[in-house]
Amino acid sequence: MGFLEILFSAGTLSQILTGLSRTTILFIVSSGLSLILGVLRIPNIAHGSLYMIGAFTAYSVISFLGGGTFAFFAAMVAAPLVVAAIGFVMERGFFSYLYDREHLMLLLLTFSFALILGDLVKIFWGTEFRSVEPPAFIQGSAEILGLPVPYYNLFLLAVGPFIAVFLWLVVNRTKIGKISRAAAVDAEMVSAVGINVGWVFAFTFVLGCFLAGLGGALIAPMTSVSLGMDHSLIMEAFLIVIMGGLGNVWGALLGSLIFGLSQSLGIMVWPQFGIVFPYLAVVVVLSFRPRGLLRSVW
C-alpha cells in the first residue's frame, strides 16, 4: 500500500478520531496542570493522582446510583468536586506555607503527595480493575466509512471545545481570572494593590484540580479504571504543558493535539514503537522552540 493510500484510508480517519478523543482528555488534564504551573509555579506531580481519584470517584458514584444517564452526569459533577476539595486541602494545608521554597522542594513535596494519594486509592478501592459503562444514549458505535467509531469518543470530541471556551472565559473574562493572570506575572505587585494573593492561588489550584478530576471522570468509561493510570498520564501532561508553553491554556490545547495525534498515528505506522512518537515530537519541538510553542507566562 502506498503512503498516500494509507494517509487517506478509513483506518487513518478512525485513528485520527481516536487520537482526538484522547486529545480531549489530555487537554482537560494538562490545562489544569498548566494553570497551576503558570500561576503558582508548582510542578504538581500529584495532578496525575488527582486524575486517578477522579476516575475512581466517578466509578463509585455511578455504581452507587446504579448506572444510567442521571448517574453518569451526577458522577461527572461529583468526581471533579471531590477532587477539587482534596486540592483545596492540599493548597491551604501545605503548599500555601511553602511558596517561598525553590521549585525542586515543591516538586518533591508534590511527589510525596502523589505517593500518599496513590496508596490511599489502593486502600479505598483496592487493586482490582474497574470498568464503567457509558450511559445508554452514547453506547455502541457509529459507522464512519465502514469502520466503527464509539459514540463515546464522539461525545468527548463535542465536550472538548466547550471546556476550552469555558476556560478561556474564566481566565480572560472574569475578574478572578484576570487577577490570577496578573499574579502569574508578578504576584508581589498584585498583593501590593491590596488583593489577597493567597486566595487567588487557592482558587487557581482548586480550578486546576477540578479539571484533573473532570479528566479522570471523563476517561473512566473509555478505559479500565486501575492503579497506575496516574503514572503514564502525569508524564504526558507535563510534556504537553512544556511543549505548549508553561501556563498557556491554548498551548496546552496545541500540545495535546500534537501528543494525541502523534500517539495514535504512530501506533498505526509502527505498532511496536508507537509509544515512542509523542516523546520524539516533544524532543523535536523543544529543540527548535526551547520555551514551548506558544508564549509562556514565565
Partner 1 sequence: MKWKYAVPLVLLALLAALPQFLPRFHIYIIAIVLLTGLLATSLNLAIGFGGIYQFHHAVFYGVGAYGTALMLTRSGLPAPLCLVAGPIAAAALSLVMGIICVRLSKLYFGMLQISLGSLVWAIVYRWYSFTGGDNGIPGIPVPEWIASPEGAYYYILAVTAVCMYALHRIVRSPFGKALEGIRDNPVRSEAIGIHVRLHQLAALVIAGFFGGVAGSLFVVIDTSVFPDMMFWTYSLEVLVMCLLGGMYTFFGPLVGSSILVLLRTYVSVYIPYWHLFLGIVLTLLIIFLPDGVLGFAVRRFRPKEGRLA
Residues in contact with partner 1 by CB under 8 A are 43, 45, 94, 97-98, 101, 103-105, 108-109, 111-116, 118-120, 122-123, 231, 235, 238-239, 242, 246, 272-273, 275-276, 279-280, 282-283, 286-287, 290-291
Q: How far is the CB of 126 from partner 1 (least distance, A)?
A: 12
DSSP string of 75-101? HHHHHHHHHHHHHHHHHHHTGGG-TTS
Is 136 or 275 the residue whose CB approaches partner 1 more closely? 275
- For residue 149, count other CB atoms closer than 10 A to its CB: 18
CA atoms within 13 A on the CB side of 295: 2
Supply the minimum distance, in Å, between the C-beta of residue 250 and partner 1.
19
Of 33 and 76, the one with the shorter C-beta distance to partner 1 is 33
User: Cβ of residue 98: shortest distance to partner 1, in angstroms?
Assistant: 7
CA atoms within 13 A on the CB side of 40: 30
Residue with smaller CB distance to partner 1, 119 or 186 = 119
CB of 276 to partner 1, least distance (A): 5
Nearer to partner 1, 39 or 156 (CB): 39
State CA 53 to chain mean position distance: 13
39 neighbors 184 (Cβ within 8 angstroms): yes
Q: What are phi and psi of 126, to 5 degrees?
A: 75, -175
